[in-house]
Amino acid sequence: MKSVKNLIETRHGSYYATVAYSARDKVYFVSIPAFPGVMTEARSLIEAKKFAREVIELQCLAALDEGKIVIDDTRQVHGRFVRAGALAVA
Asked if residue 39 belongs to a domain, the reply is yes
Task: Supply the CATH number for residue 29's domain.
Answer: 3.30.160.250
What does pTM read for this prediction? 0.81
DSSP-assigned states of every residue in 10-37: ETTEEEEEEEEEETTTTEEEEE-TTSTT
Q: Distance of CA 68 to CAs 3, 32, 59, 79, Å?
A: 31, 18, 11, 7
Asked if residue 67 belongs to a domain, the reply is yes
Number of domains in the chain: 1
Asked if residue 83 belongs to a domain, the reply is no
pLDDT band at 90 (very low <50, low <70, confident <90, very high): very low
- Structural domain of 47: 3-78
CA–CA gap between residue 17 and residue 27 (Å, rounded): 15
Model confidence at 14: pLDDT above 70: yes
State the pLDDT at residue 31: 97
pLDDT tens figures, 15-46: 999 999 999 999 999 999 999 999 999 999 99
pLDDT tens figures, 52-82: 999 999 999 999 888 888 889 999 888 765 5
Asked if residue 58 belongs to a domain, the reply is yes
